[in-house]
Structure 1
Amino acid sequence: MGESRALLLGVSSFSSPLRAGEEPPTGVDAWHPLEFVETVLPQLEQSLRGLGYDVDCHRDPDVHTMRTAVGTSLGTARIVCAVTHGATDSLGDPTRVDAVPSCSTIGFGTNVSEWVSTAQTMRQPTLFLLDLCRSGRAARLPFLLHHAGRDTYAWVIAAAASEEDAYDGRFSTAVAEVFEEMARTGLGTSKTRAYIAFSVVARRIRQRVEAMPGIPQTVVATALDQGLDDPLLPFFPNLRYEPDPLESVRESIQASIRPFMDDLLYERGRDAEHFIDRVGTHFAGRRAQLREVADWLDADASPGLMVVTGSPGVGKSALLSAVVCSAHPRLVEAVPHVRMRLKAQEPSSCPPVISRMAAVHARQRSLPEVVAAIADQLWLGKPADGWSAEALVDAITDLAERPVIVLDALDEAVDSTAIAEQLLAPLARATYGERKSRTGPVCRLLIGMRPWDNLHALHQLAQREGALIDLDRVDEGDLRADLTAHLASRLEDLKGYQAGTARRVRNTLAAAVATRLIHDAADTPFGAFLVATVFVRSVETLPAAKTAEQALDLAASVPTNLPDLLELDLTSRANPGAVRAVLTAVAHAQGDGMPTEVTSELVSLFHDNAVQDLQALTAANTMSWFGPAGRVHAGS
């Protein structure tokens, strides 16, 4: 298949479909010229070429040319783009919309909905960009709604809803602008991702159209099941992509469990680095807590609920991610070295491999999304009336094998209270009841969450059953040993501390920093490992300590309050001015945050060359500013 081919059809002038002297029958329209096509077509062609596409552009095709071009392109082109009038039959097929050719003759070969249906049957990913009136019909075909992103090959972004008109080429202008921005910045996508997500691009196009003056029109895109993350689609190449040997493995993992792998294997999971960093070398404990989880999973008589809690940055996600990556059969297969290292650290702290396991990272997920993700991973058949929390509990109760469900970042979910009260609490209390073949809880439920008031009932339930792990209350000796080992391992990777002669200095520095974090920062609202990670990154930018005395002086600079920690983090980054400009801009945002293109405009008020620096920062994904919607959040 021609992975970088695009078909572009644009019609600006229309002849009459009637022969001279004929009377027009009812329903035959005279189509007025679309002068804007002459402007937007070159913009679209240039923006597609900027993304690396070879563009087959047809200006003012008649019905035969359009039919041939589309027929040849389906199955061989990634993108099909049409800019013309959209014709519909109010008394006929409500799903049909025709792209009007220059001869004004519609019929065989002009039905856009047929193009989409044909692309689906050819099972080659194809994107349709439709700047036609009422083109939303092609994005709402019954089979697309049925698939809702699962096994979907034909994808649509349409200029207007099913009964709306499209005006003045706004959609095409927005598409060209978004594609040009995509080529420059990657729309905030990490450089480790080869393609930009469909939903990010569709949302950005819709936002651009909505911001334009004139009669409103609604951009419509192919529906995606709420329980799914964006599938990996090849339409929008990330030109800043740098191949990563782990990324191909990551993309093969189900979307809802990727964050557990990310926390252990990627730098953005900074609170997890005390287990394993990007190359898997920095091990430093939580042996007692891992052993407690492993024992809980092994014992048939264990309570159904275990909760891991503690302040931000204390290592909740690291602990749960270590469990999931070493116990989930798919992750054990994908990243076997995690389990191998846990077994090397201490065999009794390595959990068993669990054949039926669901792991869901709840950050920014709603109750329906969490329910769907658990059901999908446990291979449960969908009820006729769809999934609900109650239906999921019933389905899990009917399983012959007791599953393990791990849910992290409950406090960061869209509605953590609803998830806790409607799903997790009923699951935690569910038992096999009077069933003769089984007794006890219907599942093992492991939850990671901060100790917020709205989640107190789960906290109390786990505490009553003796299955509460509070990482703010671990043994001081264990914590000191873990922190010291982690810091020493991290320091050994820094150029100034690698030599054998630097061993005494780095060990002194590691021990002194661990002591300060345990005693002087004991009452801070964030975890010691988080501070340790930020501190080591800052040390890399400073001259290396040469003596034990210098090491002790350096250790005394470790921040023990949040403002000092933020300042240390900012000053140790590659573009601190741009970072501060972004933080200043988003301090004014509320609710869902601020679109990145708005941020790009505002930061220039606070920092010279801020736009260029912001583009570099977002492409490198050096801070977790960007949520799934490509928006910058003040609280990230």
Structure 2
Amino acid sequence: MLLMGVERFPTTADPHGEPAPGHTDWPRLPFVPGLMSRLDLAYKRVGYEVLSVAEPDRRAVMLHSDAAVHSSTTRIVHALSHGTPAADLSRSPAAAGQEHVHMVPACATLGTGTDVSQWVRIAHQQAQPTLFVIDLCRAGRSARLSELTRVPDGELNAWVIAATSPDRPAYDGRFSEAVAEVLEQIADHGLDTSPSIRFVRWDRVTRAIQNSLEGLGSSQRIHTTRVDVSQELPELPFFPNPRWRPGTRLEKLHDVVPPVRAFVADLGAEHFMDRVDDHFVGRQSQLHWLAAWLDDDRVGGLRVVTGAPGSGKSALLGALVCSGHEAVIDAAPDIRAYLSAQSPEGVCSPNPLLAAIHSRGRDIDAVMTSIALQWRLPSEPERRWSVADLISEAGTLPAVPALVFDALDEAEDPDDLMKSLLIPLAGAVRPDGRSLVRLLVGTRRWPAGPLLTLAGRDGGLLDLDDVPVEEIRSDLRSHMLRRLSSLPQYIPPEQRPIRTALAETVAEALTEETDRMHEWGPFLVARIFGHVLATQPVPDNVDAAVARGRTVPRSLPDVLELDLDRRPDGKDLRAVLAAVAFAKGDGFPTEAVAAVAPEFAPTPNVAAGCSLARATDQDLLQHVRGLLDAGSFYLRTGVETDGSTLYRLFHQGLADYLQAHPYPLDSATRSEAI
């Protein structure tokens, strides 16, 4: 990148007299050297080689700017000086044109090569995109060139972030100070951009610069290249995301439409290649039954999976979607390969007419639009589907389509969605007399009574709490063995009897109280307890392993509080998780978590070492980032439209508990909660 800045300008006028006609005395800009040093370091921190040119005269400005805009490798030009719209200072700014702004060089001579707007015009003609960061008075003139406003965003190769509007001054280098601050934040945490995105997005950066300016006490409003907000922005290669994880797999997962992507996240798909502990296990007989039914396009009808929170409804449906939905198979083929190796009969065939909806926070319009898109029904842009239209169009498909619909109870209006859409779909028939769709729904019992009754009439109701205890116990044992076998301290051969005894004891303990088991799903409790075991030393012998296994909590509140109590940052982490529990849809961004979490933190106490309630501004954000990383086991992530990471809890049962009990619990309160 090219960085040019001017501090001193020649003085020709008598300090006690008026400037000569056609000449301007430009005052010194004493802040420029310090800002040049800071910007030089900031750009290097985000990965740029910096050509820093201090005090360039007109010839130097012309040569360096021309070389930069014609270069195939220079991505950014940052100019810091006085700015003026007129090359001929004897003329008025209006006569000089509304789209010209010159960088005043150290010699104060304007002309060929100092017109920033001309740099932008030339750069647009080049093959690679260039960004101009312009800290001059009236710099906004370079950001709104009329001939470039008609160019589609995806074809534009000259982009501008200007310090101020076309007719306003810029003050004291505050804009460049804000840019340096944002560059430093990008180097530290990528402005919380998702690891699936290679470059920090344009709107994320420009908004951060404006916020930084306001934080510095400036009233300046930046002017930038205008973008079409109705279209997705192109990927602009100006600000590398330090959190980016190279590889197409994660990027493909985030390209999957959100109602489908949620299945991938709920199954822990992002960890399938790296972590065995999150793998789906068990439920073999249920998988075989449902996979065979989903593959039979001669039949339709309704199947409903229900059970206690944490019984494995979403995991079961997620395994089916990840093995049969073509978009998921394309993004993450390793998931299907793993499921097939575990149980070939429990794997669906790839099906172009399999649609998947995770209805968390979604309304009926969003759900129908997604179903129509996945079934590839004929549609026009912005079409609003009715249930009757959806049923009519689905009847024309060449085969009976399938729809996997999870988390009905977490929809925006579960009752309306059930009565207005799902029950009509379940009862609809095709012109040839067959059922319109094979509809598989996952839900808790309480909001879906009529749907459960309808499914039960035809033998289509699967209650995971009614599965024989021996089968659940066997599946839990397999789950714990997989978890322990992935932990380094349990891998050595001599630890085999230890991990076997521990897994068997945990599975037995979690299934011996049937009523408690149906209140809180044992798989969720076992999963969190496995996370706790990962931080503890291995038991010395089999008897100690059995004793450790008997300590497994029997409920979600118990096991969560056990994990948090053992952590030095547990109280702060609990506050962060409680904040995330209130997130809707795909989740909260980091800023929202930081705004809410201090409410749930304990009263500041130096002795307790609780810093969340005392931290402010950037320190608070940084502390929350660390806590989100520390609590990643409990979190699922999404991507906001500006590329930032969104956080939500990995299970609705966990969100329900923390919403009901967001504040720290003492022993007595905890007993009541549990």
Q: Same fold (TM over 0.5)?
A: yes
Pairing 1:508–2:501 present: yes
Contact 2:62 2:113 survives alignment (8 Å): no
Match 1:580 to one of 571, 579, 586: 571
Alignment of 1:430-579 (within 5 A): 440-441=435-436, 453=447, 469-498=462-491, 502-520=495-513, 522=516, 526-570=520-564, 576-579=567-570
Deviations 1:271-296 (A, max 9, x none): xx8xx973589552222332343234
- The equivalent residue for 1:115 is 120
Change (3 A) 1:134 1:497: same
Contact 1:97 1:135 survives alignment (8 Å): no
* Uncovered stretches (5+) of structure 1, i.e. residues with no partner: 1-5
- The equivalent residue for 1:3 is none
Give the distance between the partners of 1:429 and 1:146, measured in 2 at CA.
47
Match 1:181 to one of 179, 185, 205: 185
SS in 2 for 1:57: strand
Contact 1:97 1:134 survives alignment (8 Å): no
Contact 1:12 1:38 survives alignment (8 Å): yes
Give the distance between the partners of 1:59 and 1:10, measured in 2 at CA.
5
Give the distance between the partners of 2:348 and 2:49, measured in 1 at CA.
51
- The equivalent residue for 2:666 is none
- The equivalent residue for 2:250 is 250
Give the distance between the partners of 1:113 and 1:397, measured in 2 at CA.
55
Contact 2:355 2:402 survives alignment (8 Å): yes
Change (3 A) 1:583 1:209: farther
Change (3 A) 1:255 1:633: closer
Give the distance between the partners of 1:211 and 1:44, measured in 2 at CA.
18
Change (3 A) 1:304 1:196: farther
- Deviation for aligned residue 1:170: 3.8
Alignment of 1:2-401 (within 5 A): 6-10=1-5, 37-59=32-54, 62=58, 64-65=62-63, 67-73=65-71, 75-83=72-80, 85=83, 98=101, 100-102=103-105, 110=115, 115=120, 119=124, 124=128, 127=131, 129=133, 131=135, 135=140, 138=143, 168-188=172-192, 196=200, 200-215=204-219, 217=221, 234-239=237-242, 247-253=247-253, 254-256=255-257, 259-264=262-267, 278-279=275-276, 284-300=281-297, 302-303=299-300, 308-357=305-354, 359=356, 383-384=380-381, 386-390=382-386, 393=390, 397=394, 400-401=397-398
Aligned-partner residue type, residue 177 of structure 2: T
Change (3 A) 1:183 1:128: same
Alignment of 1:612-627 (within 5 A): 622-623=632-633, 624=635
Change (3 A) 1:444 1:500: same
Contact 1:202 1:221 survives alignment (8 Å): no
Q: Percent identity?
A: 31
Aligned-partner residue type, residue 528 of structure 1: P
Change (3 A) 1:506 1:236: same
SS in 1 for 2:51: strand
Give the distance between the partners of 2:165 and 2:361, measured in 1 at CA.
28
Change (3 A) 1:559 1:422: closer
Give the distance between the partners of 2:29 and 2:451, measured in 1 at CA.
62
Worse overlay, 493-502 or 421-430: 421-430
Aligned-partner residue type, residue 64 of structure 1: M
Change (3 A) 1:157 1:310: farther
Give the distance between the partners of 2:68 and 2:648, measured in 1 at CA.
42
SS in 1 for 2:632: coil
Change (3 A) 1:434 1:525: closer
- Deviation for aligned residue 1:393: 4.3
- Deviation for aligned residue 1:335: 3.8
Aligned-partner residue type, residue 514 of structure 1: A
Aligned-partner residue type, residue 71 of structure 1: V
Give the distance between the partners of 2:378 and 2:20, measured in 1 at CA.
63
Worse overlay, 251-260 or 156-165: 156-165
- Deviation for aligned residue 1:432: 12
Contact 2:178 2:209 survives alignment (8 Å): yes
Aligned-partner residue type, residue 622 of structure 1: S
TM-score (norm: length of structure 2): 0.68
Deviations 1:322-366 (A, max 9, x none): 223212334434543432333333333211101255556666778
| Alignment length (residue pairs) | 601
- Deviation for aligned residue 1:262: 4.5
Deviations 1:498-544 (A, max 9, x none): 45555444333222212322344835764322221222232233333
Give the distance between the partners of 1:425 and 1:390, measured in 2 at CA.
10
Worse overlay, 626-635 or 166-175: 626-635
Contact 1:285 1:482 survives alignment (8 Å): yes
Give the distance between the partners of 1:203 and 1:325, measured in 2 at CA.
37
Deviations 1:387-406 (A, max 9, x none): 54559949964974565555
Contact 1:67 1:110 survives alignment (8 Å): no
- Deviation for aligned residue 1:410: 6.4
Change (3 A) 1:212 1:633: farther
Change (3 A) 1:207 1:557: farther
Aligned-partner residue type, residue 486 of structure 2: D
Change (3 A) 1:266 1:167: farther
Change (3 A) 1:436 1:198: same
- Deviation for aligned residue 1:558: 0.9
Give the distance between the partners of 1:545 and 1:97, measured in 2 at CA.
75
Worse overlay, 399-408 or 106-115: 106-115
Give the distance between the partners of 2:302 and 2:95, measured in 1 at CA.
58
C-alpha RMSD over aligned residues: 5.6
Match 1:607 to one of 584, 606, 609: 609
Contact 1:159 1:218 survives alignment (8 Å): yes
- Deviation for aligned residue 1:579: 4.7
Aligned-partner residue type, residue 53 of structure 1: Y
Change (3 A) 1:598 1:163: farther
Worse overlay, 417-426 or 525-534: 417-426
TM-score (norm: length of structure 1): 0.71
* Uncovered stretches (5+) of structure 2, i.e. residues with no partner: 12-18, 87-92, 613-618, 650-654, 659-674
